[in-house]
Amino acid sequence: MTREVSVELQNVDKIYDTAKVVDGINLTIDKGEVFVLIGPSGCGKTTTLKLINQLIPHTSGTILVNGEDVTKLDAVGLRRSIGYVIQYIGLLPHLTIEENITFVLQLLKRPKKEQHERALELVETVGLPVEYLKRFPRELSGGQQQRVGVARALAGDPQILLMDEPFGAVDPLTREQLQNELLSLQEAIQKTIVFVTHDMQEAFKIGNRVGIMREGKLVALGSPMEIINSSDEFVRNFIGHGALFDALNSIPVKQVLSKDIPTAREGETLTDKTAKNGWENIFLLNDQGVCLGYVPVENLDSTRTISSRNMVPLPRGCSPDLSIKRAVEEMLYNGRAWIPVASEDNVFQGVVTFQSCANLQT
């Protein structure tokens, strides 16, 4: 696969008076990747982001966007060609949602008709009802406003999106939802995204690669798993002891499914003394592959016939895309060491157990 570079920083410094806020950063961001910059407050991650669209001019070094030196480009034109998302307070309060979404198109003086069509298209992309176009930002919830922020950044169809702690101001549940939406949106649009956050879980979940910054320097760079396995002391301290557990937040259960589960149809008889693989339950499926419930081996009578009469209803299951962390939480709540997994059309996929989760590293 050929790597196409989207953004490149070569030895970039930003100096305010005497303080070196960004210190010799070298960074290559590939086309279509989600790159997350993370670090403690004041580490220069937001400044680095703003250097890319030249909201802040750099002191020395070279910044290339699509191979062109940003200092040689018109800064206003550059910013119009790059999507920019900040926390939801960045919506313009005196403009309707439609006017907010089409703001860049207005600046570019595109025809009114095109603006309206684009607004209709984008409001759908981010999953908001069309009626919302007529509303004002303060009439929307934080999560909805944030979706508008994303729609607005996409209006000019930029190749690059800069996102500065975009989900920092919403509640944890909404944040998780927005992250999931961003990930599925990204699958469809394949933009280059540079994402700044201070939330490690968010970084591991969203990022193809993560860069950790400290005092203006880039101290670690790699995929989430590489970062977790880093031996660097600062990195280890920064990501904390729960890092692997946090990373489980971004790995779906489908990767640790135990598929070799004893299943049976109505009326089948159990020939062996026990169900296979040491399971004490047999899962009863119908012809469509939907699991109706399970039959504990001890419930079987002398004919050893598996039937819905001696079946126990299935506990609440989860989707194959649920994170391992959530699945484990679910098991803890239920006091049961396993949880059934079913696809969207209810077809039984298998079961996740503590043991299957532990097999992740191997």
Which parts of 284-303 interact with other proteins (CB under 8 A)? none
Rounded-to-integer distance, Cα 294 and Cα 308, Å = 8
Rounded Cα–Cα distance for residues 276 and 257 (Å) = 16
Q: Which residue number, 50 or 205, has a Cβ lying nearer to other proteins?
A: 50
Q: How far is the first Cα of the chain from the last one, in angstroms, to the nearest whole number?
A: 27
Using an 8 Å Cβ cutoff, are 206 and 180 in contact? Answer: no
Note whether 104 binds other proteins by CB under 8 A: yes
Q: Which of 39, 44, 90, 350 binds other proteins (CB under 8 A)?
A: 90
Q: Sign of dihedral through CA atoms 109, 114, 116, 119?
A: negative
Window 28 to 67, contacts with other proteins (CB under 8 A): 50, 53, 55
Q: Which amino acid is at 205?
A: K
* 352 and 252 Cβ atoms separated by less than 8 Å: no
Q: Out of 40, 71, 107, 242, point to the residue binding other proteins (CB under 8 A).
A: 107
Query: Within 10 A of 319 (CB to CB), how many other CB atoms are there?
Result: 14
In angstroms, give the least distance from the CB of 210 to other proteins.
23
* Amino acid in the structure at residue 235: V
Q: Does 132 bind other proteins (CB under 8 A)?
A: no
What are 252's two structure tokens?
Answer: 């779906």
Alpha carbon 28 to its chain centroid, in Å, reads: 21
Interface with other proteins (CB under 8 A), residue total: 28
Q: Which of residues 63-82 bind other proteins (CB under 8 A)?
A: 76-81
Instruction: Please give the full DSSP string across 200-241, using - where no structure is assigned.
Output: HHHHHHH-SEEEEEETTEEEEEE-HHHHHT---HHHHHHH-T
- The residue from 67, 71, 92, 226 that contacts other proteins (CB under 8 A) is 92
Q: Which of residues 133-172 bind other proteins (CB under 8 A)?
A: 136, 138, 152-153, 162
- Least Cβ distance, residue 133 to other proteins (angstroms): 14
> Per CB under 8 A, which region of 88-96, 177-185, 266-274, 337-345 contacts other proteins?
88-96
Is 89 one of the binding residues for other proteins (CB under 8 A)?
Answer: yes
- Residues of this chain that interact with other proteins (CB under 8 A) are 50, 53, 55, 76-81, 84, 86-87, 89-94, 96, 103-104, 106-107, 136, 138, 152-153, 162
